[in-house]
Amino acid sequence: MEYHGLLPGWTALVLGVTILVIWLFYSQNNKKPYATIPVLSADRNEYLQNGRALLEHGKKFRSCFQVQTGTNFKIVVPNRFAAELKNHPDLSFNDAHARDSFTSYPGLQPFREILENDTFIQEVVRKKLTQSLGLITTALFEETQLTYRDIFGESKEWQTHVIKSDVQDIIARLSSRVFLGLELCRNPDWLDITKNYTYSSFEAISELRSQHALARPIIHWFSKNCTQARHYYKRAQVLIQPVVDRRKAQMQASSSESEGSSKASDAIGWMVECARGRKIDYAAAQLSFSLAAIHLSSETMTMCLLQLCDMPELIEPLREDCRRVLDDSGWTKQALQDMRLLDSFMRECQRVRDLLATSMLRFARAPLTLSDGTVIPKGSTLMVMNDWAHSSEHFPNAETFDMRRFAKLRERPGEQNQHQFSTPSADQMGFGFGSHACPGRFFASNEIKIALCILLLEYDFEYVPGDDRPQDIKHEIVRLADPSARMRIRKREGNS
């Protein structure tokens, strides 16, 4: 009797709590437009299907406007305000990306690791990876040659390859040589994990953005992409943790033997050195490095190869640039810096075939006022247009691909160290802009240069005759290379 008497009360309590949770969740994820900013579109599907084209219509506004995205309304800020916002203390990089990348969901821990342990990741990349670029150049050169031999072979007969898939395999191996060393860089399990986690995690995030906020906590358990992300993350933990444990033991043994001068030469060792007692998810951290390398570097290199197949007349001048520098300096960090034409070509590819239509995604922790008087409300999310890259006001004949564009700009007095592929600027925000510009951009630049240089010198390549010209994939504000694009390739006659 007492049990039956209590049941309705418990039922009512559970029902009430459920309604409260749904209401709170709904109210937090279904915000209305910001009152003071004009609305370009309140249709999230319009943004999800082709946000790049949608944002072009926003240029009719004199200043900021807002659009409904997959997660919330976002304020779109014109490119001219990038410089005044790039290091603003009231704008949070971490809060904005945590909301958009669903970092609390299982399987997406690498995205959370980037944000929650951002000072750790920055230290590993800036103090260890970037300062070691001179030491790892030879390793990248050797690994590239071995990787090309495995993927493209030595045949002087034409063979057909899918460009993007092969480039992802190449970048996965080169990055793993630096991030994991020889112990795992050619391990088939790790290469499978690092490549497929990158794909499945970005697809999972994109899928979650397309779902209603109330459905996401349930859908992610049944989503194929989310399930695969969890699967690959768990596999990464199984592979990485024993390596970390061995590395810690080696460092402790070296320390006890007064051999403190021995230094780590890969990212696992760097992470162990930089952890200093902090609780670090090493598998998530390693995957976070792979996310940046495979997603950004492989897309960039693929776009470069597509451009060379579109304009084969560019190939021989680039070969000559590479030969000239290597004959003078060999495979050194300085040689890579001296490849000015190749660097200019890469930056022009990044300008013309930009990955993102916007940059500087930020969350406003306090109200802020732009120089034109526009007030960005507290609690809003903003992103800055990246359209100066396509403007003839900033780049003469912007619609024309000019391989020498940035090399010529560097010839102007006082600008020899500007306009480089790895240099963020308000008119070229492929690596972001300001204090949160991609810290791994110098490594990415060297990695891509080595991969392109060796390919140019040792192989001939072109589109497969008869294939249709590849079409970029555009979704939300992203441009991705056509995953079905093919080229044929053969080993060149004689020496490179």
Any idea what DSSP says for residue 295? I
Residue 86 — very low, low, confident or very high, per pLDDT cuts 50/70/90?
Answer: very high
DSSP string, 460-478: EEEEPTTPPPP--EEETTE
In whole angstroms, give the CA distance from residue 187 to residue 183. Answer: 8
C-beta of residue 170 within 8 angstroms of C-beta of residue 176: no
**Which distant-in-sequence residues (6+ apart) come within 8 Å of 49 by Cβ?**
475
**Which distant-in-sequence residues (6+ apart) come within 8 Å of 335 by Cβ?**
325, 326, 328, 329
C-beta of residue 60 within 8 angstroms of C-beta of residue 38: no
C-beta of residue 449 within 8 angstroms of C-beta of residue 342: yes
What mean pLDDT do residues 167-174 have? 96
In whole angstroms, give the CA distance from residue 10 to residue 19. Answer: 14
Domain boundary assignment for the chain? 78-491
Residue of 485 and 20 predicted with greater confidence: 485
Could you read off the pLDDT of 184-202 as tens digits, one per residue? 889 999 999 999 999 999 9
In whole angstroms, give the CA distance from residue 80 to residue 61. Answer: 13
pTM confidence score = 0.91
Does residue 164 carry a pLDDT above 90? yes
Does residue 127 carry a pLDDT above 90? no
Torsion of CA 159, 163, 166, 167, to 10 degrees: 140
The pLDDT assigned to 366 comes to: 97
What mean pLDDT do residues 201-225 have? 95
The annotation status of 438 as a binding-site residue, yes or no, is: yes
Task: Give the closest residue to 244 by CA, choosing from 226, 261, 264, 220.
Answer: 264
Q: Which helix (H) or strand (E) holds 379?
A: none
| Total length of the chain | 496
Burial, 398: exposed, middle or buried (Cβ in 10 Å; 0-12, 13-18, 19+)? middle
C-beta of residue 382 within 8 angstroms of C-beta of residue 364: yes
In whole angstroms, give the CA distance from residue 200 to residue 211. Answer: 17
Could you read off the pLDDT of 370-415 as tens digits, one per residue? 999 999 999 999 999 999 999 999 999 999 999 999 999 999 999 9
Does residue 345 carry a pLDDT above 90? yes
Fold of the 78-491 domain = Cytochrome p450 (1.10.630)
CA angle 479, 174, 232 (to 5 degrees): 70
Of the spans 177-186, 253-262, 314-323, which averages the highest pLDDT?
314-323
Any idea what DSSP says for residue 132? G
What SS3 class is residue 363? strand
Does residue 2 carry a pLDDT above 50? no
The pLDDT assigned to 293 comes to: 82
Residue 8 — very low, low, confident or very high, per pLDDT cuts 50/70/90?
Answer: low
Residue with tokens 């000559």: 320
In whole angstroms, give the CA distance from residue 436 to residue 360. Answer: 8
Mean pLDDT (the chain) is 91
Determine which of 118-132, 363-377, 411-425, 440-454 has the lowest per-residue pLDDT on average. Answer: 118-132
Could you read off the pLDDT of 143-152 as tens digits, one per residue? 999 999 999 9
- What residues pair up with 382 in beta bridges, in sequence order? 75, 362
Residue 32 — very low, low, confident or very high, per pLDDT cuts 50/70/90?
Answer: confident
Residue 496 — very low, low, confident or very high, per pLDDT cuts 50/70/90?
Answer: low
The pLDDT assigned to 7 comes to: 42
What mean pLDDT do residues 114-126 have? 87
Give percent of the chain above pLDDT 70: 91
In angstroms, the Cα distances linking 196 to 115, 181, 228 are 22, 20, 8
Give percent of the chain above pLDDT 90: 77
Does residue 4 carry a pLDDT above 80? no
Q: CB pairs under 8 A, 24+ apart, for 408-415?
A: 408/344, 410/340, 410/344
Does residue 225 carry a pLDDT above 60? yes
C-beta of residue 273 within 8 angstroms of C-beta of residue 264: yes
What mean pLDDT do residues 153-157 have? 96
